[in-house]
Structure 1
Amino acid sequence: MTGYLGSYATLGLLLIAAVLFFVTAFSANRVLRPARPAEPWGKRASYECGLDPVGGDWAQMQIRYYVYAYLYVLFAVEAVFLFPWALVFDRPGFGTTTVVEMGVFVAVVALGILYAWRRGVLRWA
């Protein structure tokens, strides 16, 4: 298949093959699955470390765990941007503009951490 429409024909054949694979997989699933689902206490029961579930399905979490997760993400994102910058900042073409941009980035992150510290978020108890 050469010419102007050759690449479109290849793409069309690939899409047809993908749709046929999709339809075949779902048809095989429908044919091979069990006729009756398992009993309610069998497959569909929740799993708690190999023990039978105890109590209801609603549990209250304290917000501080989410704040710690958010702060971890904040530090991880900062590290993701700082390490590559630290590897190339002294190469030619990365002058004072790059240093100023990274300084602004670190200042914004530091303000976020300072705000969290002032609000008492970083205290465990």
Structure 2
Amino acid sequence: MAWIGERLHGWSDPALPGNPGRSPEWICTVTSLYWLTGTAASSAMLYHDAVRDPAPERYVTVPTAVAHYAAEPVMIPRPWAQRHYNVVRWERHASGGHFPAIEVPDIFVEDLRAFACLLGLGARTG
């Protein structure tokens, strides 16, 4: 629980007023959900596996969108991303961290909608 709680606190944007990612009540609620449902270990496994056994070099042809939020702890360089992925959308945001759906939901949803429209999956009007 401590590992997840530290990530929720440390990887959220401290500059956001009222950011739930910095709230002790929210951190306790989310860490409890991970702990009580037995998903704490599986959620951490992604980070463990990425370091211990990184994916082989390859180019992913599926259209990919990248959204960088200001307080994200790791910023992927655009040249690296374009060398490995078919990047069709690249956005940088002035706020938000590793948990944008919680921290800046309006920006996050707009990113999803714009990417869906780019792929021809957006809502049809008229």
Report the TM-score range of the alignment, normalised by the length of the smaller protein: under 0.3
TM-score (norm 1): 0.19
User: Which is richer in strand?
Assistant: 2
TM-score (norm 2): 0.19
User: Which is greater in Rg?
Assistant: 1
User: Which is richer in helix?
Assistant: 1
